[in-house]
């Protein structure tokens, strides 16, 4: 630490002047997940502009936390800056990384955050960084860096176009499940809740995923997306369970009692389990909701596994349900006689079970596999398939359903009949109006 002794004696008190440093190596672990607040002029980052707060593990401590103190009582507005030279492990910032000199700023609510106000970086090297600050803090100065991913414009276009199409298809699917009385049962109830959850999640993603300007709002958005996507996956799990029970119904007599239990438990499970997971995640690490550029879960410190963990579990259980369903259907197909309707229903179940695994499970496996040399290709596959989930759901459960096709046909006939009657009434009115006009005699 380098300083001008006149700064220490500015208090005007007689006697000895005292200056000191206290290093607390273990403090970094306690404060590593705290958010980083930048001054407005320092919020520009390479390859793009960042607005708002950098939080959680997006900032990484590079040195020990130290506390500086002196006999001068006014340590908030020093007339001459104090210089700190920090040693740290070897570091070469990448094109989207930057080193900051920061201090711990206490807040009135009893918490705090890292801040760059009043501090600037003089020089930095591979193993040391020099900072200057015009004030002191109870937890002194440290260094942090952040990493902002460069967004692929092609992936962004694919995402927004695909999600736009999915929103339209999910809306049509939800209206179909609500209005088509002939197909309303436990299966369509699950389809409806799945469509609603995915619709709300995709809509919130399109409208608010990059609303990072207001910290509290971004945290709420990230938690809401966490809940909606987990709810979607939970309903996907119930979808797989229901398909298994339907296939089992082909060979088991007492299926009705199981179906009643399914109806009673599906809503508490579908919406309650995700709520519990999000509540535990938010209460344990609330600062990790939100990243520098996205209102989503911070990928560091293992927090992303509060989402990926349930997803992997649901995928594994769904895979087991699908395999058992296919095994039951295979046995049923081999034992069928000439019952054409049962044969068609069984084949449709086989198709739905296979599509279930592809649409609702494999897409996120591609997302998890975005590592190594194949990360770019996996990223494109994940983006394309995941953004078109709504289209696949509408295709499988509506357009390819014979009952829904018949209902669509009835609706179209009704629309045509109404239009024809309207046109007939209009022509009749015109004819009547023309006949009622008095003729002119020359």
* Pairing verdict, β 141-147 and 60-61: antiparallel
Compute the half-sphere exposure of residue 270: CA atoms within 13 Å on the CB side of its CA.
Answer: 24
- The full set of domain ranges for the chain reads 17-147, 153-408
**pLDDT per residue over 375-405, tens digit each?**
677 777 777 887 788 888 898 888 888 888 8
d(CA 50, CA 156): 17
**Res 149: pLDDT:** 54
- Of 211-215, 223-227, 406-410, highest mean pLDDT: 223-227
How would you class 212 by CB atoms within 10 Å of its CB: exposed for 0-12, middle for 13-18, buried for 19 or more?
Answer: buried
Q: Would the pLDDT of 435 be above 70?
A: no
Instruction: Give 291 or 268, the one with higher predicted confidence.
Output: 268
**CB 322, CB 356: distance < 8 Å:** yes
- Domain formed by 17-147, architecture: Sandwich (2.60)
Q: What is the mean pLDDT of residues 5-20?
A: 64
Q: Which fold has domain 153-408?
A: Rhopdopsin 7-helix transmembrane proteins (1.20.1070)
Q: Is 275 helix (H, G, I), strand (E, B) or coil?
A: helix
Under the banding of pLDDT at 50, 70 and 90, the label for residue 99 is: confident
Q: Would the pLDDT of 80 be above 60?
A: yes
d(CA 248, CA 389): 27
Question: Is residue 191 within a helix (H) or strand (E), and if so which, with residue range?
Answer: helix 186-208
Q: Is 180 helix (H, G, I), strand (E, B) or coil?
A: coil
Instruction: Give 269 or 136, the one with higher predicted confidence.
Output: 269
**CB 235, CB 310: distance < 8 Å:** no
Under the banding of pLDDT at 50, 70 and 90, the label for residue 17 is: low
Q: Would the pLDDT of 174 be above 90?
A: yes
Q: Would the pLDDT of 42 be above 80?
A: no
Closest CA to 290 of 109, 163, 96, 282: 282
**Residue 435 DSSP class:** H
Instruction: Report the b/e string of 20-30 with b at 16+ CB within 10 A.
Output: eeeeeeebeee
Instruction: Give 133 or 89, the one with higher predicted confidence.
Output: 133
2 phi, psi to nearest 5 deg: -120, 135
Q: What is the mean pLDDT of residues 304-312?
A: 89
Q: Would the pLDDT of 19 be above 80?
A: no
d(CA 28, CA 60): 10
**Res 377: pLDDT:** 77
**Res 5: pLDDT:** 66
**Res 134: pLDDT:** 82
Place of tokens 């920090």: 86
Beta bridge partners of 61: 144
Q: What is the mean pLDDT of residues 1-18?
A: 64
User: What is this structure's pTM?
Assistant: 0.68
Q: Would the pLDDT of 171 be above 80?
A: yes
Residue 410 tokens read as 């009835």
d(CA 318, CA 309): 14
Instruction: Give 260 or 217, the one with higher predicted confidence.
Output: 217
Under the banding of pLDDT at 50, 70 and 90, the label for residue 49 is: very low
- Of 109-118, 271-280, 429-438, highest mean pLDDT: 271-280
Lowest mean pLDDT among 73-87, 116-130, 192-206, 346-360: 346-360
Beta bridge partners of 54: 36
d(CA 354, CA 350): 6
CA-only gyration radius of the chain, Å: 32
**Res 302: pLDDT:** 82
- Of 247-261, 299-313, 327-341, 357-371, highest mean pLDDT: 299-313
Q: What is the mean pLDDT of residues 250-279?
A: 80
**Res 433: pLDDT:** 62
Q: Would the pLDDT of 349 be above 70?
A: no
Place of tokens 């380098």: 2
Instruction: Give 303 or 361, the one with higher predicted confidence.
Output: 303
d(CA 8, CA 15): 12
Whole-number average pLDDT of the chain: 76
Compute the half-sphere exposure of residue 137: CA atoms within 13 Å on the CB side of its CA.
Answer: 24
Q: Would the pLDDT of 338 be above 60?
A: no
Instruction: Give 245 or 7, the one with higher predicted confidence.
Output: 245
Residue 149 tokens read as 């991913």
Beta bridge partners of 131: 84, 121
């Amino acid at each position: 630490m380098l300083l001008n002794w006149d700064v220490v004696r500015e208090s005007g008190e007689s006697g000895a002047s005292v200056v000191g440093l206290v290093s607390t190596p273990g403090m970094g672990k306690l404060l590593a997940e705290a958010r980083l607040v930048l001054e407005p002029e320092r919020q520009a980052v390479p390859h793009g502009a960042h607005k708002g707060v950098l939080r959680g593990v997006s900032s990484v401590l590079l040195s020990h936390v130290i506390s500086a103190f002196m006999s001068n009582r006014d340590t908030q507005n020093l007339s001459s800056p104090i210089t700190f030279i920090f040693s740290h492990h070897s570091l070469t910032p990448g094109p989207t990384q930057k080193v900051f000199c920061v201090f711990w700023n206490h807040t009135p609510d009893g918490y705090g955050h890292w801040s760059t106000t009043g501090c600037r970086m003089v020089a930095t090297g591979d193993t040391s960084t020099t900072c200057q600050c015009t004030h002191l803090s109870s937890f002194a100065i440290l260094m942090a860096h952040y990493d902002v991913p460069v967004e692929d414009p092609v992936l962004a276009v694919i995402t927004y176009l695909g999600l736009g199409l999915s929103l339209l298809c999910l809306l049509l699917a939800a209206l179909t499940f609500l209005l088509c009385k002939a197909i309303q049962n436990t299966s369509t109830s699950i389809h409806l809740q799945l469509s609603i959850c995915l619709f709300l999640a995709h809509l919130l993603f399109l409208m608010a995923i990059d609303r990072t300007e207001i910290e509290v709002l971004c945290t709420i958005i990230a938690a809401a997306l966490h809940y909606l996507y987990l709810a979607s996956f939970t309903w996907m799990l119930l979808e797989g369970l229901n398909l298994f029970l339907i296939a089992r119904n082909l060979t088991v007599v007492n299926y009705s009692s199981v179906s009643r239990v399914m109806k009673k438990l599906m809503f508490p499970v579908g919406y309650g389990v995700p709520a519990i997971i999000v509540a535990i995640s938010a209460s344990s690490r609330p600062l990790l909701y939100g990243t520098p550029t996205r209102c989503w879960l911070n990928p560091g410190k293992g927090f992303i596994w509060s989402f990926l963990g349930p997803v992997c579990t649901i995928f594994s259980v769904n895979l087991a349900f699908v395999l058992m369903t296919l095994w039951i259907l295979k046995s049923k197909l081999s034992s069928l006689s000439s019952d054409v309707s049962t044969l068609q229903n069984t084949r449709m179940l086989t198709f739905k079970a296979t599509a279930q695994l592809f649409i609702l499970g494999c897409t996120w496996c591609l997302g998890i596999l975005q590592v190594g040399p194949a990360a770019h290709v996996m990223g494109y596959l994940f983006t394309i398939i995941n953004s078109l989930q709504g289209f696949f759901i509408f295709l499988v459960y509506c357009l390819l359903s014979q009952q829904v096709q018949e209902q669509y046909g009835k609706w179209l006939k009704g629309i045509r009949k109404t239009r024809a009657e309207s046109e007939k009434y209009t022509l009749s009115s015109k004819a009547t109006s023309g006949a009622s006009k008095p003729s002119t005699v020359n």
